[in-house]
Structure 1
Amino acid sequence: MTNGNGKRKVALGLSTVLVSSIVLSACSSENSAAGNSGSGEQQAGSLKIEIFDRGNAPAGLTASDNFLTNYVKENFGKASNINVEFVPIPRSEEVTKLNVLMASGTDVPDIVFTYDSGTFNKYAEQGGLTDLAPLLQEYGQNLTKFLGEDTLRYGQYDGVQFSIPAKRSTVGKYASFIRQDWLDKLGLPVPVTTDELYNTLTAFKTKDPGGTGGKVIPLGMTIAAAQYDSLVWSFIKPVSEQERFELTQNLSSRDYPVLLPGFKDAIQYLNKLYNEGLISKDFALDENKETLTQNIGNGLVGAFSDDNDAIFYPDGTYDILSKNNPNAVLTAIDPYTNSEGKTAKPVSAPNGMYIMIPKSSKHAVEAIKYLDWMASEDHLQYIQNGIEGEHYKLEDGVPVSIPDMSEESANKLMGGGDIGIIANGRIFESQEKNNEAFVKSFRTKYQEIVAKALEISNTNPIEQVYTSRPIEAESKYGTTLAEKVKQLMVKSIMVSPGEFDATYESMMKDYMSSGGQAILDERKAAYSEQK
């Protein structure tokens, strides 16, 4: 699995045939009733577990046959007299392959999972999943304690516990960064408000402290959320709980403030920055941020926002910048202030992937026992970190990877993130330890700025709006509307200031008629239900 910040979503796209097959296979299986009841009648001795196949296994190893899968088979399977089998599914085709398996009703693993909330909701809606509440109560005490109620509720559909949500080690997403050496050259302080940042960006453009020969990009920008979300949400005005619930639009598992008061102001501010030459001219073509990464590495960018960990990986953005300009220094900043003077920014929900047991499974008890085993003693820590002295050393109780381990040792850790499915990231007895482990997973030279970026990403958090039932219109229109938001932003930001209002209103009208109004209407109805 990837870090919680790292967040890939796959559109659902279930065909009518597949949906019908899921229902038929779930409802016609009389054996599954006993299998899911937690009674002694359930067949024992076998358990099939989905595992992502990323196509990067070292020679001689596979996603389903390696050191850690053998650890599970030996320490859980053999010890419990259960034959464990890992079923590889290509990561790039996970939803498509899972749909086929779920439709078969016979070949589907006993434990399956997805990051896509729409896929989970559809399976639950169509009756394809096991009610896990009684199984958790009887066999999942360790698992329940590990996850906690705040995480578990994200696995409910209409109040029924149809999935086990993985727990995130940290929910922080975004931080911003600025060229400290440019500030020093101009004698400027680190900006701590939106206005101060604007003045700094203007100075970067007019004085070109990086000596770019007129190629300076004061604020790096793309059409990906990590670059604009902190700025946009800082313009959102305070609203009541009811307004926040009703006016939020959750598209592709992310809250969008497109209907909240202040969103238009945010886009108009970006229009101002664009027309003054303060943000990347090609931002609309750079959703994968390839151009931004290149421009930062080449020393052209003065400031930018990103996922809190994105730039610090080996051979990543900061490494490239340092290689091209050894004197370049980045500082983590938190400059986007809202009307209350707070640097509010969105964070992730506390859950990661959705772990499910198909209704057709005859081994639901074994499945919960396996997940509970993972949450007990030090099994999850072993799966995530390996062997002390060979793979890591302890520093204040936190495992720190040994950088010069042998290739043979490194191969033993293959698939740890994809086997330790109950956690997104390394989880310890406290959030402080989680954060410390996050920081220490990076090279020593970056740990100080990583710690600051992590702190920023969790400062004044805007939590996702929780809905006790899925909003059907969001599942129906979410993918289309997410694209509509991008179109609205691009066209409204790139027009001249005099054309902004007409362009924005036209794009908003198109957005609302393409499903935005349907979501708004349903969320208004859902608010009274949830209350």
Structure 2
Amino acid sequence: MKVKTGRSISISLAALLIASTLSACSSNSSSGTSDTSGTSGTSNTPNATASATKEHRTLTVEVFDRGKPGQPDLNNNYWTKYINDNFGKQFNATVKFVSVPRAQEVDKLNVLMAAGQAPDISYTYNQGVVYNYVQQGGLAELDSALKQYGPTLTKYLGDDVLKYGKFNGKQYSVPGKRTVLASSNTFIRKDWLDKLGLPVPTTPQQFYDTMVAFKEKNPGNVSGVIPYGFSLQPLNPGLSLIPEAFKPSNLTEEQFATLQSQPIWLSNWSMPGFDKAVQYVNKMYNAGLVSPNFATDKDGKLLDADISNGKVGAFQTNWDGPYRTAPGNYANLVKNVPGAQLIPIDPWQNDAGKHPKNGYSPNGMYIIIPKTSKNVDLAIQYLNWMSDPKVTLFLQNGQEGVDYNMVNGVPKQTGTTNSGDKMMTVANNLDYDILSNGIELGDQKKNDSAISAGYPGYEKDVEKALSVSMVDYYSTYFYSIPNAADAKNNAALKNLSAQMLAKLIVAKPTEVDGLYKSLVQQYMDQGGKAVEDEFIKNYKAQNGK
């Protein structure tokens, strides 16, 4: 398994220190920076519409600077001109984009918030950071503004997405909409299965037996065959989809919410069945079926090389991992081993005969408006404008007949947005179309077709992989009350979890049970119990218990 990076919510030290610095926001607000009783058009309240004043305003909007070679001026390019020529002229406003380095976005946003200089429309993927701002009174409440200025916006997002922006019952954020909820897949060398005359495994036992056959018969005739490729990355330590097969299917909602309080692919030490999943991987390791250097492969590059060189029989990664241009595992594999074939499989069947998969929640980034902003109404109008399907189509694809051609209802890019003034620094231009985290064509089937079309040469493979990854999909329980104990202990507990998994996987099978109990007790003593207790408390508070 190559564990995904960037999926979990990690709270930076700067975010944890925001309580001591955000007071600058409050002082600026009280000294006149935020005028809640000002004249029409500049009020922080949503009672004054943009059309009620002739005064020209400037709306500042955050944009990620990804440092892509050859990228245009992020505040003056094809896309910003379209926005100002359309939204700007309609609402008598200039939209100014404030670039923030993607790799340091939380730290930079903290500094801007503390100084009262954050853009009118800011955003982050980190829920904990948003919660800290809410706790310190740094964000504008958006309920009335959404009701008055966001009819198209609220219809597009719906309650299932909007609820992720509610804190303590009030709307403090407008979540983007994630259009691809798929997370992980298991891939296997079909040419190895065919050579040995084996069926596609559909249960954990069948998968184990197949890995044994790969080891004993070495169908790829390679030196150092690795039946199951696995890397343990400390930032996101887990077993990918394997625990799904061992988690009881009859967990109550409260058990599910509090014991599996994070994605399944992270270590859920209190979740029933997680110990069985650890024992399963331990058994594979002791049988010589797992990458021998899994614990030291910190970034997964050894696994990438082993897959590309044809040594690996099966592995787990992102749902579309092999088809990505970077690291390009499938392309490299076929180049090195002509005739090699990878297919997605679904072997992690649970006690109910299901194949559950914990995917992404339906929300994308958290879009926020600082309380210091004088343009709350205009900011919501901007997002409302952006939620128009015609605007979304243009921002994600450009001009039809020039930047793309519509084929069977799906836009096919012509290549004009790969460089120059039109360069998109991220797929689907998500840094400007901030409402949609993924291609958005207004229909999920069209979205799926468009996604597959984005992998030239692998369209059918990607279509199949997406389908498999969504079988029995579910998302983690939604908490409207973030867990402060988790924010405090998150990084340390992840590091400890990586150490625990490494020890448990390489232990002698007879020692796993006792070692598991002692390590979990250590985990609980070092913050795990505090995190679990707060999830239980928050669950009861959220459900009125």
Shorter-chain TM-score tier: over 0.9
Distance in 1 of aligned mates of 2:186 and 2:265: 20
Shift of 1:482: 2.0
Distance in 1 of aligned mates of 2:410 and 2:153: 22
Name which of structure 1's ranges 335-344 and 148-157 shifts more when overlaid on structure 2. 335-344
Matches within 5 A, 1:200-215: 200-213=210-223, 215=224
SS of the aligned residue for 2:22 comes to helix
Shift of 1:320: 0.7
- The alpha-carbon distance between structure 1 residues 272 and 341, as it changes in their structure 2 partners (threshold 3 A), is same
**2:332 paired with 1:320:** yes
**2:260 paired with 1:248:** yes
Would you say the 8 A contact 2:88–2:94 is kept in 1?
yes
Name which of structure 1's ranges 455-464 and 42-51 shifts more when overlaid on structure 2. 42-51
1:183 paired residue among 193, 197, 208: 193
Distance in 1 of aligned mates of 2:486 and 2:232: 21
1:337 paired residue among 349, 352, 363: 349
**2:360 paired with 1:310:** no
| CA shift digits 1:117-156 (9 cap, x unpaired) | 1111111111100111111111111111111110000011
2:231 paired residue among 203, 222, 225: 222
1:257 paired residue among 263, 268, 272: 268
Tell me which residue corresponds to 1:514: 526
| CA shift digits 1:219-241 (9 cap, x unpaired) | 11112469832112221113111
**2:22 paired with 1:19:** yes
- The alpha-carbon distance between structure 1 residues 20 and 491, as it changes in their structure 2 partners (threshold 3 A), is farther
Distance in 1 of aligned mates of 2:417 and 2:12: 41
Name which of structure 1's ranges 426-435 and 358-367 shifts more when overlaid on structure 2. 426-435
SS of the aligned residue for 1:72 comes to helix
Would you say the 8 A contact 2:389–2:442 is kept in 1?
no
In structure 2, stretches of 5+ residues that fail to align are 38-42
- Whichever residue aligns with residue 221 of structure 1, its letter is F
Would you say the 8 A contact 1:248–1:256 is kept in 2?
no
1:173 paired residue among 165, 170, 183: 183
Give the TM-score normalised by structure 1.
Answer: 0.93
Tell me which residue corresponds to 2:245: 234
Tell me which residue corresponds to 2:40: none
Distance in 1 of aligned mates of 2:374 and 2:227: 59
**2:45 paired with 1:37:** yes
Name which of structure 1's ranges 307-316 and 152-161 shifts more when overlaid on structure 2. 307-316
Tell me which residue corresponds to 1:129: 139
Would you say the 8 A contact 1:12–1:118 is kept in 2?
no
Distance in 1 of aligned mates of 2:265 and 2:371: 28
Question: Percent of aligned pairs with the same residue?
Answer: 37
- The alpha-carbon distance between structure 1 residues 173 and 377, as it changes in their structure 2 partners (threshold 3 A), is closer
Distance in 2 of aligned mates of 1:44 and 1:511: 57
2:455 paired residue among 433, 442, 447: 442
Tell me which residue corresponds to 1:49: 61
Tell me which residue corresponds to 2:74: 63
Would you say the 8 A contact 2:25–2:372 is kept in 1?
no
| CA shift digits 1:174-229 (9 cap, x unpaired) | 1111111111111111111111111110000000000113x111011112469832
Would you say the 8 A contact 2:259–2:268 is kept in 1?
yes
Shift of 1:5: 9.4
**2:407 paired with 1:395:** yes
Distance in 1 of aligned mates of 2:320 and 2:237: 11
Tell me which residue corresponds to 1:349: 361
SS of the aligned residue for 1:382 comes to helix
- Whichever residue aligns with residue 512 of structure 2, its letter is F
Shift of 1:55: 1.2
Shift of 1:412: 4.2
Distance in 2 of aligned mates of 1:499 and 1:409: 60
- Whichever residue aligns with residue 425 of structure 1, its letter is G
| CA shift digits 1:383-434 (9 cap, x unpaired) | 11112222222122111223x5586578444462211101100122222222
Shift of 1:377: 4.2
Shift of 1:494: 1.3
- The alpha-carbon distance between structure 1 residues 516 and 386, as it changes in their structure 2 partners (threshold 3 A), is same
| CA shift digits 1:455-487 (9 cap, x unpaired) | 111111232111121122122222222222222
Would you say the 8 A contact 2:204–2:347 is kept in 1?
yes
- The alpha-carbon distance between structure 1 residues 340 and 442, as it changes in their structure 2 partners (threshold 3 A), is same
- Whichever residue aligns with residue 288 of structure 1, its letter is D
**2:159 paired with 1:156:** no
**2:202 paired with 1:192:** yes
Tell me which residue corresponds to 2:130: 120
SS of the aligned residue for 2:98 comes to strand
SS of the aligned residue for 1:143 comes to helix
Distance in 2 of aligned mates of 1:160 and 1:256: 32
- Whichever residue aligns with residue 279 of structure 1, its letter is V
1:97 paired residue among 91, 96, 108: 108
Give the TM-score normalised by structure 2.
Answer: 0.91
Would you say the 8 A contact 1:191–1:197 is kept in 2?
yes
RMSD: 2.3
Distance in 1 of aligned mates of 2:90 and 2:407: 32
- The alpha-carbon distance between structure 1 residues 199 and 149, as it changes in their structure 2 partners (threshold 3 A), is same
Name which of structure 1's ranges 172-181 and 74-83 shifts more when overlaid on structure 2. 74-83
Tell me which residue corresponds to 1:380: 392
SS of the aligned residue for 2:295 comes to helix
- The alpha-carbon distance between structure 1 residues 75 and 5, as it changes in their structure 2 partners (threshold 3 A), is farther
- Whichever residue aligns with residue 468 of structure 2, its letter is I
Matches within 5 A, 1:402-441: 402=414, 405=416, 411-414=422-425, 416-441=429-454
- Whichever residue aligns with residue 478 of structure 1, its letter is N
Shift of 1:307: 0.6
- In the alignment of these two chains, the number of paired residues is 522
Distance in 1 of aligned mates of 2:497 and 2:531: 14
- Whichever residue aligns with residue 145 of structure 1, its letter is K
Would you say the 8 A contact 2:70–2:419 is kept in 1?
no
Distance in 2 of aligned mates of 1:297 and 1:92: 28
Distance in 1 of aligned mates of 2:49 and 2:83: 25
Distance in 1 of aligned mates of 2:531 and 2:28: 31
